C-alpha cells in the first residue's frame, strides 16, 4: 500500500507540466535565461490558480488549487484525487521557512512540517541544485530561478498559452544531478529517474506558466500549470502564520528526510534519533513464540515494518534478501513486523517468497499493531538499522545503501 503521506512528500518535492517542445535554435537560450532570471527576481508577491498532474507507480494524481506567495512565505490550498481517493491539503510556509501542511483524507487529519531551507540545502549538498518547489522558504520561483542557473537550457521557440506569449525552454538532466532533484531518494525508490525538464515563461513578465519534468521514457512524471496570475498583489501577512492545534501530533518530515540520506536527525518525537538506543519491544512470531528486540543484542538488526500488499516493499524485497543472504552468517538479523490484517495473507506471501527466512512478528491488528503504534509508524516500508549495541545508525535504507551500511558494520 502506497500511503498518502509518502505520496505527499514526493508531491511537495517536485512539480511539473507536460509540454510538447519543438526543436529550435539553442543560441538564444543564454540571453533569454538571463532576461527571465532578472524578471523573476523582481517579484515581491503573486497569487495564481494551479493544476498539477503526477504519474508514478501506476498511479495518477490530479490536483487543483491556488497559491499565494509573499517574499519567502507561501500559502497553498490543494484538492488532490489519488486513484479515486480525495485528499485536501493546506500548506503554509511561515517567515522562518518552515512549511506546515494539514491533510484531510476521509475525515482523518494529519499535520506535517518541513524546513524548506534545510531541504533546499540537502539538494545543494548532493548535486548543487535544490528540489523544485522547495526553494528557501518554499517560494517555487526561487527554485525555478536556481534551476535556470543550473541546467544548460535550450530555447525552443515562442508559443501562446491562454493568450499570453511565452518562451519555451528545455534541458536534459545529467545523471549526477538526479540526487539534487530527489534528495530523499523517494523517486528513485519508485524507479523514477529525471531525464529532462521543460518550461514555459511569459515573455512580458517572466512568470512560469508551465513546468514539466520528464522520466526516462520521455513522458512527464509530474506536470504543473499556473493561471489567473496576479503579480505583486496586496497580501495580508497573517495568512502565512500557523500554529498546530494543541495536542496534535506533528510528523517532522525534515528529520525523516535527513535520516534517509544519512544526515543525523531526529524523527518521531526523538524516539529514533541516530545514536540513540531503539525502544525495546516484544512481539509474537508466527509459531506463537515471544520474541524481544533484546534477544538480538550483539547482532546488527534491521527492524522492518511492512505488509504483503505494499508495492514499494515488494519491489525492494530482492535487495533485502540479497543483503540477508550475504550478511546473515556474519551477524545480521532482520526482525520484521507485519502490518497485514490477515494472517492467511501473510503466510501465503511468505510461501511465495521462501527466502524470507527471518523472524516475522504479527498480532493481527494491522496498522494498529502494538509495535507499530509504539514506533509511531505512519508509512511503510519503514526500517531502522541497529548496530551490535542496539543503537540506531540508519533509517529507511534502500538498495545498495543497505548493503553498504552492513559492509561498514560487519565487514565486506
pLDDT of residue 305: 93
- For the chain, what percent of residues have pLDDT higher than 90? 28
Average pLDDT of span 211-240: 86
pLDDT of residue 140: 63
Is 70 exceeded by the pLDDT of residue 127?
Answer: no
pLDDT of residue 408: 86
Q: Cα torsion for 144, 379, 270, 255, to the nearest 10°?
A: -10
pLDDT of residue 44: 77
Domains in the chain, ordered, with CATH? 4-240 (2.50.20.20), 266-410 (3.40.30.10)
Higher pLDDT, 245 or 371: 371
Average pLDDT of span 330-358: 94
Q: What pLDDT, in 10s, does the model give residues 3-45?
A: 444 444 444 444 322 322 233 333 478 888 888 878 876 777 8
pLDDT of residue 21: 29
pLDDT of residue 2: 38
Kindly indicate the confidence band of residue 134, based on its pLDDT and cuts at 50, 70 and 90.
Answer: very low
Kindly indicate the confidence band of residue 256, based on its pLDDT and cuts at 50, 70 and 90.
Answer: low
Q: What pLDDT, in 10s, does the model give residues 364-399?
A: 998 889 999 888 887 788 889 999 999 888 888 877
pTM of the model as a whole: 0.53
Amino acid at each position: 500500500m502506497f500511503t498518502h503521506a509518502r505520496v505527499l512528500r514526493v508531491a511537495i518535492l517536485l512539480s511539473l507540466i507536460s509540454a510538447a517542445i519543438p526543436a529550435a535554435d539553442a543560441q538564444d537560450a543564454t540571453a533569454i535565461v538571463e532576461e527571465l532570471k532578472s524578471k523573476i527576481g523582481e517579484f515581491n508577491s503573486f497569487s495564481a490558480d494551479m493544476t498539477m498532474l503526477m504519474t508514478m507507480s501506476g498511479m495518477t494524481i490530479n490536483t487543483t488549487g491556488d497559491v499565494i506567495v509573499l517574499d519567502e512565505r507561501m500559502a497553498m490550498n490543494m484538492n488532490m484525487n489519488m486513484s479515486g481517493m480525495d485528499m485536501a491539503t493546506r500548506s503554509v510556509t511561515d517567515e522562518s521557512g518552515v512549511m506546515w501542511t494539514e491533510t484531510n483524507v476521509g475525515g482523518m487529519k494529519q499535520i506535517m512540517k518541513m524546513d524548506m531551507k534545510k531541504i533546499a540545502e540537502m539538494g545543494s549538498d548532493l548535486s548543487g541544485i535544490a528540489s523544485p518547489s522547495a526553494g528557501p522558504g518554499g517560494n517555487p520561483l526561487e527554485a525555478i530561478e536556481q534551476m535556470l542557473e543550473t541546467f544548460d537550457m535550450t530555447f525552443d521557440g515562442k508559443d501562446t498559452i491562454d493568450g499570453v506569449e511565452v518562451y519555451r525552454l528545455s534541458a536534459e538532466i545529467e545523471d549526477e544531478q538526479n540526487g539534487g532533484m530527489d534528495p530523499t531518494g523517494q523517486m528513485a525508490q519508485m524507479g523514477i529517474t529525471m531525464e529532462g525538464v521543460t518550461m514555459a515563461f511569459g515573455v512580458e513578465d517572466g512568470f512560469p506558466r508551465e513546468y514539466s519534468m520528464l522520466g526516462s521514457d520521455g513522458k512527464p512524471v509530474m506536470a504543473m500549470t499556473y493561471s489567473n496570475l496576479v503579480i505583486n498583489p496586496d497580501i495580508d501577512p497573517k495568512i502565512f502564520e500557523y500554529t498546530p492545534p494543541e495536542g496534535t501530533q506533528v510528523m517532522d518530515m525534515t528529520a525523516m528526510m535527513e535520516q534517509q540520506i544519512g544526515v543525523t536527525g531526529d524523527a518521531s518525537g526523538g524516539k529514533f534519533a541516530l545514536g540513540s538506543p531503539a525502544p525495546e519491544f516484544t512481539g509474537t512470531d508466527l509459531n506463537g513464540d515471544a520474541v524481544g528486540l533484546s534477544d538480538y543484542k550483539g547482532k546488527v538488526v534491521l527492524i522492518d515494518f511492512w505488509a504483503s500488499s505494499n508495492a514499494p516493499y515488494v519491489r525492494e524485497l530482492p535487495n533485502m534478501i540479497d543483503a540477508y543472504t550475504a550478511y546473515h552468517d556474519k551477524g545480521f538479523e532482520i526482525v520484521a513486523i507485519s502490518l497485514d490484517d490477515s494472517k492467511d495473507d501473510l503466510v501465503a506471501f511468505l510461501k511465495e517468497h521462501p527466502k524470507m527466512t527471518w523472524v516475522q512478528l504479527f498480532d493481527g491488528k494491522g496498522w494498529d499493531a502494538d509495535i507499530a503504534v509504539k514506533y509511531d509508524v505512519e508509512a511503510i516500508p519503514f526500517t531502522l538499522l541497529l548496530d551490535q549495541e542496539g543503537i540506531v545508525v540508519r533509517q529507511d535504507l534502500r538498495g545498495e545503501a543497505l548493503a553498504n551500511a552492513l559492509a561498514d558494520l560487519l565487514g565486506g
